[in-house]
Amino acid sequence: MDELIIGGVSLKSRLLIGTGKYASNQMMPKVIESCGTQVVTMAVRRVDLEGKEENILEYIPKDIVLLPNTSGARNADEAVRIARLARAMGCGNWIKIEVISDNKYLLPDNYETIKATEILAKEGFVVLPYMSPDLMAAKAMESAGAAAVMPLGAPIGTNRGLRTKELVQILIDEIKVPIIVDAGIGKPSQATEAMEMGAAAVLVNTAIASSSNPIEMARAFGLAVEAGRLAYLSKVGPQARLANASSPLTGFLRGVEE
């Protein structure tokens, strides 16, 4: 059976989703159900344990793996402190490291992310670092103990698709831990594209949350990820530049005059 294993947990669904930007938390259980995701990320800074009605954790089914993220961290030190808070708050030991010191493009800081990955992996966290697709940085995160590496497809929230495709492909080819494309995926077809390339999974938030019908869009993404994975496993047939009937260079061997 085709399973994705992260931090010792076996996952059937290769779609991870976020909880930000929704018009209402009440929508979350339906979105989760309709796409079949098993891993849901949430900003630790938004988690409000005292406010029952506003506490996002109340809206996530118990069998879902929580992936708290360090949104708001500007450096490794802040990311580490937020991760420890998440654990203390009862969010488990998975952590998505987000270190962003740029409020303009919201691009991750790979250098600080590597540092935080090292510290948190040593503390027993299952660390999933969000990063700009760079081979050396990904290798450093892998050797620092990352359980998966999460390169961006395009700047977060832009819905612009796999703009970093060539670089992500290199990570897929070279990094041994799972590569999860995070950020930028704007439509189901782009999620399929990432999966066809061999990405282990994708994480989608804005594209679902900002659609007119998040529940149906979540389902579309669930199907798209599955389709892309099946296509990847079935090995997409080679693409040909010319129709197969003609052999302009070797046709003479068969006595065909071109």
Partner 1 sequence: MSFLEESLSYKGLDYGAFFSSITGSDILRILQQQKLSHLDFLTLLSPKASNYLEEMAQRAHELSVQYFGKTILLYTPMYLSNHCVNRCAYCSFNVDHDIKRDKLTLEEIEEEAKAIAKTGLKHILILTGESRKETPVSYILEATKVLKKYFSSISIEIYPLSTEEYMQVIDAGVDGLTIYQEAYDEDVYKKVHLAGPKKDYHFRLEAAERACEAKIRSVNIGALLGLGQWRQEAFMTGLHANYLQNKYMDVEVSVSLPRMRPHIGAFDDLDFVDDRDLVQILLALRIFLPHGGITISTREMANYRDHLIPLGVTKMSAGVTTAVGGHSSQEEGTSQFEIGDHRSVEEIKEAIIGKGYQPIFKNWMPI
Are 133 and 167 in contact by the 8 Å Cβ rule? The answer is yes
The two three-digit tokens of residue 217, written as one number: 């869009």
Are 78 and 104 in contact by the 8 Å Cβ rule? The answer is no
Phi-psi region of 32 (alpha: psi -120 to 50; beta: other; left: phi over 0): alpha
The correct pick among 13, 132, 158, 169 for binding partner 1 (CB under 8 A) is 158
Q: List binders of partner 1 among 182-241 (CB under 8 A).
A: 206, 209-210
Measured from the CB atom, the residue of 161 and 178 that comes closer to partner 1 is: 161
Strand partners, 108: 100
Are 152 and 205 in contact by the 8 Å Cβ rule? The answer is no
111 binds partner 1, rule: CB under 8 A: no
Question: Which residues are the active-site residues?
Answer: 96
The two three-digit tokens of residue 185, written as one number: 């995926």
Q: Residue 37 CB, nearest distance to partner 1 (Å)? A: 18
Q: Residue 113 CB, nearest distance to partner 1 (Å)? A: 14
Q: Residue 163 CB, nearest distance to partner 1 (Å)? A: 13
Measured from the CB atom, the residue of 113 and 159 that comes closer to partner 1 is: 159
Single out the segment in contact with partner 1 by CB under 8 A; choices: 6-14, 151-159, 192-200, 235-243. 151-159
Q: Residue 215 CB, nearest distance to partner 1 (Å)? A: 15
Q: What is the DSSP string of 83-139?
A: HHHHHHTT--SEEEE-BB--TTT--B-HHHHHHHHHHHHHTT-EEEEEE---HHHHH
The correct pick among 25, 93, 132, 169 for binding partner 1 (CB under 8 A) is 25
The two three-digit tokens of residue 36, written as one number: 């079949």
36 binds partner 1, rule: CB under 8 A: no
Q: Which residues bind partner 1 (CB under 8 A)?
A: 20-25, 44-48, 51, 54, 72-74, 78, 81-82, 85, 101-104, 106, 157-159, 206, 209-210
